[in-house]
Amino acid sequence: MHAPRTPDEPARLSRRSFTAATGGALVALGAGQALAGATAHAAEAPSNGSAKAVAATPYTDAFLAQYEKIKDPANGYFSPDGIPYHSIETLMVEAPDHGHQTTSEAFSFWIWLEAAYGRVTGDWGPFNGAWETAERSIIPSHADQASSGSYQPGSPATYAPEHPEVSDYPSQLDPDVSVGQDPIATELAATYGTMDVYGMHWLMDLDNTYGYGNTPGTGGQNGPGPGASYINTYQRGSQESVWETIPQPTTDLFEFGGPNGYLDLFVGDASYAQQWKYTNAPDADARAVQAAYWALTWARAQGNESQVAESVARAAKMGDYLRYAMFDKYFKQIGDCTSPTGCPAGSGRSSQHYLLSWYYAWGGSAGDGGGWAWRIGDGASHQGYQNPFAAWALSTVPELIPESPSAQGDWAKSLTRQLEFLRWLQSTEGALAGGCTNSWEGAYGVPPTGTPTFYGMPYDWQPVYHDPPSNNWFGFQVWGMERVAQYYHATGNADAEAVLAKWVAWASAETTVGADGSYRFPATLRWTGAPDTWNAANPGDNAGLHVEVVDYGDDVGVGAALAMTLVYYAAGAADADAAALAKALLDAMAAHADDKGIAVPETRRDYDRFDDEVYVPDGWSGTSPYGDTIEPGVTFIGLRPWYRDDPDWEKVQTYLDGGAAPVFTYHRFWAQAALALALAAYGELLGGESPGGPGDDTEPPTVPGGLRVTATARSSVALAWTASTDDTRVTAYDVYRDGTPVGSTSTTSFTDSGLAAETTYSYTVAARDAAGNASEQSEAVEATTGAGTGTGTVKVEYRNNDQNATDNQIKPGLRIVNTGGGALSLSTLTVRYWFSGESGATTYGTHCDYARLGAANVTHRVVAAGGSTPGATHYLEVGFTAGAGSLAAGDSTGDIQLRLNKTDWSAFDESDDYSRATTGTYIDAPRVVAYVAGQPVWGTEP
């Protein structure tokens, strides 16, 4: 523990604490002359004549080399308007559906990157320039929200429920559902003299590829042509993946789309009016505030505080409006909100949950639409969006405290609430589960019985979106914990330290950096159980909440955030092991440098969805700005025909035609900036810029000896070896299978699982010390797994999609996970769900309402079990056609939503059904049995 630091007290590390942790040479960055040039540049006096740059060190030099690549115009990171693209490459579908869009996320990383550049060089012009560009582009001006003055805080918006499926849209507006009052709008207007909202819209089309022409500063819909354009995509419920979106303009003047523009694809109304609408991603605005804090801290240390004062004031203003992320979507009361009409409208602060929710949004009339405006918050809060660091800065740092009278108190309470939230969501292992919502399924529904709550808001393991589940991506773990680590480093807060220590131990154990420079960390997670209901006076231990790593990856942006977390935690806690792992990760990733940055190839199997159909309601028809038809049956590529002209399209077309999945090496702006920032942070806090400098431990441990196989099974191999020695201490052993790292351990034994049966593998082991030095790999040993049954190993996960045990339908949700070591042909797999048919009809109707693999590729029937076992007289048998393809090792089929009924529609009594459980979230289901080639491989039959 250490005392809190004020912004003009940069953190220092003692040489004694970190001599071992920071020793060893930086892996060559491949920067060549660029690195040498950057080093020279760092030593020059800044162009504005400000304070001298920091001393050159390997990691500061590496930061500058990476920075120069990002800012080099020839590398293509920025648009002609000087705005960062999401990526250099154009053919990219993830959250943005084109590489040359941009996000508020990219802006926030850009602002932070320029803050770090100011620290290293003393030149604050680029930092101020990034804020100025944001203000004239991604923060809508008054012209872009011209009717904002018509907003009525006593009636913020008309209610429309969200729906679980894209096909349930448009969603009908319902003015009979009461909404609450907006308690901060009048205060904001009085403070800033306008009803305009000062926040970043989340998405822009920088090349106007779609042709909407929502040009910043014009408030218009100007059509195809050069320049940036506002755009929006997601608007149809939790199951809407990027592959199911219909992009739309933010200002819709009915010039494109159908007779009502694009509005009636999403919202049902008696009539439609031209309008504008924007959506804010709160984590990005909070990151911009975070960057402004560091700019203030670093500029003050240089005596340059006045140079950043105007930009810091912009950040404080943004933080004032960011409070809209703390409110329920329709300003209803927080907690126990289980019906649209029964949940009371909020008044005062009763609608404020004080967390950073998934979004806030605002809009209003345009053109001939009359005079009106609206605002909404969001009840769904995700752990990965929380930023206690920003909350602390906005409530304690004078220059960042917003001007509105109640803002400081709101952010102080938000800081406490966020820390409680993270503690509530921490699993037994250490990773953080999803979040909570004040509006179950987006419609103030009733959560499953027994669902734990946080201040009355039910737990949701996948808040907001479900395809794929929102908290299964490890990136949300490191993005969130990096902020907690910075908060802990700045303040020494004990609550943050407790969460961090447990999380870092888990993440470190799941991270491997090999002696050959290879590395891996978690990529996809799987969740079981739930946290305890939150009791602030006596928090539970969450003994039933667990996480499992499904697969591992090497994404450089995620790796950079992990390294950053480790750096700030190591600096705050004087943890040599965390410092060593941060260094090893940075060195390993730096080995993948190219002339544009640091990047690794990635295989995009999801690109088989380019020709997926996108739902358009029956009877709806419209055209794009280029005259392309939008109607039922249109596909993802049909909405984006210009992709066929992309230079990389041939790789995708080959895949669609049955060839290999395409491989891309992407240079995402946020990831490249994150790498630069992680290098800069290591240089500042652990790499020798401050007095004491790096340590000098460069001696690796001895090579592990006596590697041997101690046991084999059908899907696993157990290994043991003799301990290595080191001049300081050995901290870990990295295990390699066929030359690829598969895990690490602090002991001298390891079990490698999830293997294919009757297969021979080769293993080696290398030792690592606290300074990150790695030994040579040991002599190899071979091991052959035992014989298996069937052709694969799977597990079945189940959730109950209908909690009513006595209605006329049974609705199981299933997911099948390949736990074997090789691909599994799904056509060999069947799954049985046992139930009791009771009296009534002897024939059944079965349905697949949704499957990520395609409902047409799922077979289903009811079979009489041939006995009279209570609760198991029949079973629903689920299979797959050849069109379902294969399931790779570690992969999941994703959600399969099934439904069955008696043909006479008489009621069931599911209370004694063998396979039934009451869980509304996916859990392992040993009473749902899986068979491969007719042989049982999972579960127990009745």
Contacts of 415 (CB under 8 A, 6+ apart): 388, 391, 392, 395
CA-to-CA dists, residue 733 to 44, 353, 766, 855, angstroms: 43, 45, 6, 45
Nearest to 150 by CA among 195, 201, 217, 185: 195
For residue 523, the 8-state DSSP code is E
d(C-alpha 439, C-alpha 919), whole Å: 18
Distance CA 897, CA 763 (A): 41
Nearest to 87 by CA among 674, 676, 666: 666
Question: Which one from 81, 269, 336, 516 is the annotated catalytic residue?
Answer: 516
Helical H segments across 99-180, by residue range? 104-121, 125-136
Q: Which residues contact 654 (CB under 8 A, 6 or more apart)?
A: 660, 662
Q: What are phi and psi of 764, to 5 degrees?
A: -135, 165
Residue 784 CB neighbour total at 10 angstroms: 12
- Using CA atoms, how far apart are residues 760 and 786, in angstroms rounded to an integer? 10
CA-to-CA separations, 815 to 434, 627, 798, 887, 928, in angstroms, rounded: 19, 41, 6, 12, 11
Tokens 């709160």 locate to: 282
What residue type is 803 in one-letter code?
Q
Residue 569 and residue 575 in contact, taking contact as beta carbons nearer than 8 Å: yes
Phi-psi label, residue 885: left if phi above 0, alpha if psi -120 to 50, beta otherwise: left
- Answer for the pair 379, 353: CB distance below 8 angstroms, yes or no: yes
CA 469 – CA 829 distance, rounded (Å): 24
User: CA-based angle 98:101:107, to the nearest 5?
Assistant: 140
Burial of 125 (0-12, 13-18, 19+ CB in 10 A): middle
Burial 10-26 (b: 16+ CB within 10 A, else e): beebeeebbbbbbbbeb
Residue 469: strand pairing partners: 466
Question: Is 516 among the catalytic positions?
Answer: yes
Residue 291's Cβ-count burial label (10 Å; 0-12, 13-18, 19+) is buried
One-letter amino acid at 430 equals G
How many angstroms separate the CA atoms of 509 and 427, rounded?
A: 15
Measured CA to CA in angstroms, residue 615 lies from 163, 244, 341, 633 at distances of 14, 7, 30, 7
Q: How many residues does the chain have?
A: 942
Residue with tokens 């822009």: 204
CA angle 747, 752, 758 (to 5 degrees): 145
Instruction: Burial-class residue 111 by CB neighbours within 10 Å (0-12, 13-18, 19+).
Output: buried
CA nearest to 434, candidates 468, 469, 486:
469
Specify which residues 813 forms β-bridges with: 799, 897
Q: Decide if 292 contacts 311 (C-beta within 8 A).
A: yes
Sign for the pseudo-dihedral over CA of 882, 884, 888, 894: negative
Q: How far apart are the first and last CA of the chain?
A: 55
Q: Which contiguous run of DSSP H or E holds residue 860?
A: strand 858-864
Q: Strand (E) positions, 389-476?
A: 435-436, 453-454, 457-460
Angle (nearest 5°) at CA 913 between 907 and 918: 90
Distance CA(294)–CA(116), nearest Å, equals: 8
Known catalytic residues are: 516
